Structures are given as structure tokens and as C-alpha cells.
Structure 1
Amino acid sequence: MRAPRIGVVDSGGPPDAMTGARAFHPRGDGPARPDRLGHGSAVAAVLARAAPGAELLHAQVFDATPVTSADRVARAVEWLVPRADIILLSLGLATDRPVLRAACDRALAAGVCLVAAAPARAAGTCWPAAYPGVVAATGDARCDWDELSWLPGPVVGAWCGSPERGGRGMGGASLAAARVAGHLAAGFPGALADPAAWLAARCRFLGPERRRA
């Protein structure tokens, strides 16, 4: 059985992990540079810990700052569709754009699993996590490394600690999305037949954390 292939739409990785990587610029695309932000490297470290045998392919949409566009992310997703079993998007955009929706629809239709970071409920909606069929993931402080929770949305909650010490823009949802993608990669190929059901069956916690008064 071959190893799962995970496409990482982020800021890239360290120099020794950039073979085959591609950068998606505001105008056009080209060879990727090593990670200058730190975000993609931290996300990749979570994936490597969760699924050591997985093959990672970086699609770079961030440069030296945590700013990108729906068009850049959409082009990265399109490029990864024939190359990946799982596409991880540890990012979220504040506005629903047709170009991103269409790219995600095509990926899902091709049988690729999409995992995206979702903010805390109070922070509102973000995309692509809000698209139907995309596995939305957020941090849940109740979850240890191997645990999951099933939250309204639905959203999958996961470990969001940061021993990797990610760079700017690194939040709980970013690491949690990587952790959820890692769960799916560890369960490959069976987990991808119905990712949501596979994750739901493994959740320790049901519903949001209830804080004591």
C-alpha cells in the first residue's frame, strides 16, 4: 500500500522539503522558495509527527507575511488535485469567492479530501472551511494529541498545542487542521471513503466545551 500524499497550501517548508513545490503569486506561478513565514513549516511538522510515512507537497500561497488571496489559494488547490489524496488548508479567508468555491468543488468531485481551518464560533465564518464537503477543523483545549471532538457546524475539534513553535499567524485552528489531516492520513486509505463519518466515529467529545461559572 502506498503512502498518502498530502498537499499543503501554506507558506512552504524548510529548504530540504521543497522538492517539487510550487509557488502561486498574485500573477502567475513558479518555483517555490523555502518558507519565510514559519507557518507552513510548523504545519508540516505536525503532519510528519502524525503520519510519518506521508508524502508532503507544498503549494506556496504566502510569502513573508500571512496575506494571500482566494485566487492564489484556488490555483494552488487546482494544481494539487491530481497530485494529492488530502489537501490541507491551514488558513481561512473572510469572504466567499466563486473562484475558490469552484476549485474546492472540483477537488471534492475528483475524490480529494479537503481539510481547512475554522475559527472559533465567535470569530464568524471563513472559507474554504465553510464549503459543503470540506472538513472544517478547529482547536479544542480538551483534546490531547490522539483525541478529537465533534462540534456544531459540523466542525472537528483537535489538539492545538504548539511544540513546533510556529511563526506569525499560527493559531489553534491552523495546528488543529494539520492534526485532523494527520488523523486522516494515518487512516489512509479507508479514512478517505467518508472522512466526516470516519472522524465522527473517533471523537471522544460531543458538543462544545462547557465552562463552569
Structure 2
Amino acid sequence: MKRSGPLFTLLAGLLLALFMLSLNATTGTRSTSVGSGTSPDAASPSPTATPPSTATPSKPSASPTPGPSKTTVPNGDYAGRTDDDSSAVAITLRDGKAVAYFCDGRDQESWLKGDVETDGTMRLTSQKGAVLTGELTGRRISGTVDMGQREYGFTADKALKPSGLYRATDTVRGATVDGGWIVLPDGQQVGILKLDGKPATAPRIDPETGAVTVDGQRLTARPVTP
């Protein structure tokens, strides 16, 4: 019995050693398996596709808004009398310009010119300081003529040919001739003819041709434009 004790002890130690050896082998295999495996999460990520950038369409540049075009008053001829019926006034409009003639048919006259505004207003002046202020409304120009010593109100209606404003300048028998005529819508004529600067009542002209005889010589009075 004394000899069986050490034998059991040796056998127990051998079994313990085999158990430990088996345990170590199992643990090492598991560790190696886990360590050598590639986790799906550890795989290098595939490049993320970048969505194509969408170009923002540029807004077309706004074209400048055209400003209102500047228009001139209609071309036309106008003729009439002063409010006191002592004189006549004729005005011709062309492309925003105006020329006017004031005449009493005896010894007082004035040629005036200037611009016409887009609203039909005008301020015309002469070389001697006379001023015509008027406004075109419809088919009529109304206003005043300031001759310095006196101011005249007037109304000039639209005139159709041969009515209107005429002038003739020439030399007759060595004398300088300068004549102005206003042919009114009713056919009447008011004008002054100067011979070497001396005024007198102008002879009648043929409104269809402008023909006029001065001191035996035939001249032609022509429509006046600015």
C-alpha cells in the first residue's frame, strides 16, 4: 500500500500535464485563427464616387432697357394774325427747328429762329432782340411776339400750300432787294419789301409759282425753311 501512493501521485501529475498541454494547444490555435483572419471591416474602403458637379447656368445679362426715344414735333407751316389784327405771323417747323416772320405790311418786321421742344414749346429770337414765345397745340401755334416797344399776341393755324412763308433776296438795278411774304390760309398776303434797307409794302406774289415783279424785274419768292 505504501508503494501505490507515489504511483497515484505520478499518474495525477501526468494527467495534469497532458491537460495543460492540450489546453495550450487549443488556445494557440484559436488565437492564430482569429489573428490571421481578415475582418470585412478591415478591408480598405472602395473609393467613394463623387457625384458630378452640376454647373449652375449663368443668368443671361440683362440688356439695357432703351430709354424713351426723343421725338421732334411734326414738320409743318403755320400762318395767322395778331390778336389786334394789325400784323401777321408765319412759322415754319422742320426737324425740331423753327423760323418765323412777323410783319405789319408797312414798316415793321422781324425774322426769328430757334429750336422747338418736344412738347411743342418754342422761344425764337431775332438779331435785333425780338422774341417769339409760342406753343404748338394740335393744328395751331399760339403765343406772343415781343418787338421791344410792344408785345403782340397771335394765333397761327396750320397752313397748306400755297399758304405759308416766302422770301426773295436779289439785286435789282444795283439795289439790294429783300422781301418777305406771309400768305394766309384765306389767300390774303402781308409782306414788306426792302430796297437798300428802305421798307415798303411788298407787291403781291403768285402763290403758285412765287413770281413777283420788282421795279420791272421778275424775281421768285421761295418758301422759307429753317
Q: TM-score range by the shorter chain?
A: under 0.3
Structure with the bigger RCO (C-alpha within 8 Å, sep 6+) is: 1
Higher relative strand content: 2
TM-score, normalised with respect to structure 2:
0.24
